[in-house]
Structure 1
Amino acid sequence: MSKDKTRALVARFIDHLEAQRFEEAYRLLNPDGRFVMTGQTPASGTYDGLDDIFTRLAPKLSGFTELPKIKVSDIVIDGDKAFLRATGVGAGAYGRYEQPYYGYFLRVEGDGFSEIVEYLDTVQLEVALYGKALVAAESSEDILKGAGRRSARGREAGQGRERT
């Protein structure tokens, strides 16, 4: 695979991303290509081929009220592979969507991409699109105090262990 061919395909992908033409960007994936969205969100997963992307993934991203405006800042190309660094800002049904660090791994095969892997801050997706909230974790001291209260309640109810 020539670096020039990779560069040309990556340039088309970037043009579509930055113009918010996401469907066209993902149509650069080969029919049997694979798209991976990292994380554990409802949208995260592996999508095999264009039909899978448009039937399973697209509805999971329909909560955007303002499509992300993506700006690519860095491009690294090595033969048939490329990595892009980008940022994005948009809005979802539950608030502002800010991606300070998008990453895209792209692998070229034939006339299109055989693989696209999207790396992102999945918390932004969870909060803006799915209405999840980040809450502070309990401190270990709070957890231990809570365990002590549960043990005391159990003894009061006659459920504690008796030692003989």
Structure 2
Amino acid sequence: MDQARSIARKYADLLCSGAFAEAFDLLAPNVKYRIIGTTPLSTDLHGRDTVKGALVPALASFKQPPQLTLKEIIVDGNRAVILASGHGIGPTGLPYSQPHYAMVLRIDNGFIADVEEYADTVAVEVALVGNKLVPA
């Protein structure tokens, strides 16, 4: 459990400091990374290089990079949940606000082997894609 907590904490600290590429270096070479939801950015990514190739440029496209704030890390065995919030200005120029954000990690052999990322999909649609929520 100590290894899972240590790796999750290092990952969270790097994300919170804006060192996204360095955080993704903690991913296993064959990581499975899932962004939950039905937005155009919701996807399954396989492999550290694929994750870095997709997410580092996406994060760099923000007009004001997302600033994450760590709330809590919960660890059980080789699993860790990072609870955080985040704010920035998306590539659309619109505010990106994630008051409740979660990442579920599985740690294996000193690397993050699986990630499931949960975020407010409306915030993603608005700030990253440029779609606005309208009444049905």
Give the structure-1-normalised TM-score.
Answer: 0.77
Which residue matches 2:98? 99
What amino acid does structure 2 have at the position aligned with 1:17? Answer: L
Alignment of 1:1-164 (within 5 A): 3-94=1-92, 95-137=94-136
User: What SS does the corresponding residue of 1:64 show, helix, strand or coil?
Assistant: coil
Q: Write the distance in 2 (CA, Å) between the matches of 1:41 and 1:63.
A: 17
User: What SS does the corresponding residue of 1:73 show, helix, strand or coil?
Assistant: strand
38-47 vs 99-108, which moves further: 38-47
1:78-108 deviation line (CA, Å, top 9, x unaligned) = 0100111110000013200000110010100
Cα separation, partners in 2 of 1:118 and 1:68, compared to 1, 3 Å:
same
- Segments of structure 1 that go 5 or more residues without pairing to the other structure are 138-164
Q: Write the distance in 1 (CA, Å) between the matches of 2:58 and 2:42.
A: 9
Structure 1's consecutive aligned runs of 4 or more residues displaced over 6 angstroms after TM superposition are: none
Bigger share in strand: 2
- Which structure ranks higher in relative contact order (CA pairs < 8 Å, sequence separation ≥ 6)? 2
Cα drift, residue 130 of structure 1: 1.3
Which residue matches 1:160? none
1:23-81 deviation line (CA, Å, top 9, x unaligned) = 11122110011111111222211100112113344444553111111011121100100
Q: Write the distance in 2 (CA, Å) between the matches of 1:24 and 1:57.
A: 12
CA contact under 8 A between 1:63 and 1:129: conserved in structure 2? no
What amino acid does structure 1 have at the position aligned with 2:23? Answer: A
| Same amino acid, percent of matched pairs | 36
CA contact under 8 A between 2:59 and 2:66: conserved in structure 1? no
CA contact under 8 A between 1:6 and 1:108: conserved in structure 2? yes
Q: Write the distance in 1 (CA, Å) between the matches of 2:96 and 2:40.
A: 16
What amino acid does structure 1 have at the position aligned with 2:76? Answer: D
Cα drift, residue 136 of structure 1: 0.7
CA RMSD of aligned residues (A): 1.4
Bigger share in helix: 1
